[in-house]
């Protein structure tokens, strides 16, 4: 089964394909860009983008949106994570947390499947905390500063890709999509 994935991020495409390959699903980059609205809701952002991309392509597809939510920053950067990463990066988040004892955080991901008949959301969450300094060399985005509570104090960047996907927000959301597509018997190919 092949589906379009409306993303401009090659890291997300590779990560999603690694997860979905176990279900016999291959994602191809959508030929049109993902349209992002400003919203406090990851699901609203992803659903809007999926609807717009489906109208443009006329072919079943998926859209993903994710964010890092830091508790002591009142959920910031949340749905603005991509912009915040591009403007202040991991170092900026660490500076905002200087002197904070509560470094609790979570990653959330919403994957939306859209076709002519339906639109369905799949959500993944990983709880953890923000490291004192960046660590590790794999991954992307805020991975060097996010410590999952499920991996013995390691940041996402210190994990092998398969270890990260097993517990990550994105891994959980894309596995839920893969399971649903496999169980529903849908046969989708790119138009």
> What amino acid positions are annotated as catalytic residues?
65
Strand pairing of 104-114 and 61-70? antiparallel
CA angle 158, 161, 166 (to 5 degrees): 100
CA atoms in the 13 A half-sphere facing the CB of 183: 6
Q: What is the DSSP code string of 125-191?
A: EEEEEE-SS---SSS-TTGGGEEETTTTT-BGGGS-HHHHHHHSHHHHHHHHHHHHHHHHT------
- d(CA 59, CA 27) in angstroms, rounded, equals 12
Chain CA centroid to CA 115, Å = 20
């Amino acid at each position: 089964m092949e589906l379009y994935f409306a993303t401009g991020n090659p890291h997300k495409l590779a990560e999603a394909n690694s997860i979905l390959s176990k279900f016999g699903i291959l994602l191809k980059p959508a030929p049109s860009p993902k349209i992002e609205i400003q919203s406090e809701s990851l699901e609203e952002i992803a659903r809007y983008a999926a609807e717009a991309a489906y109208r443009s392509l006329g072919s079943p597809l998926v859209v993903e949106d994710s964010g890092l939510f830091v508790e002591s920053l009142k959920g910031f950067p949340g749905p603005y994570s991509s912009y915040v990463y591009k403007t202040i990066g991991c170092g900026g988040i660490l500076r905002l947390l200087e002197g904070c004892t509560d470094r609790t955080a979570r990653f959330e991901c919403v994957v939306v499947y859209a076709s002519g008949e339906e639109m369905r959301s799949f959500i993944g969450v990983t709880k953890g905390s923000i490291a004192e300094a960046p660590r590790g060399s794999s991954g992307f985005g805020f991975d060097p500063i996010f410590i999952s509570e499920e991996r013995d104090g390691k940041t996402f960047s210190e994990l092998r890709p398969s270890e990260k996907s097993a517990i990550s927000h994105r891994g959980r959301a894309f596995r839920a999509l893969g399971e649903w597509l496999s169980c529903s018997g849908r046969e989708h190919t790119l138009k």
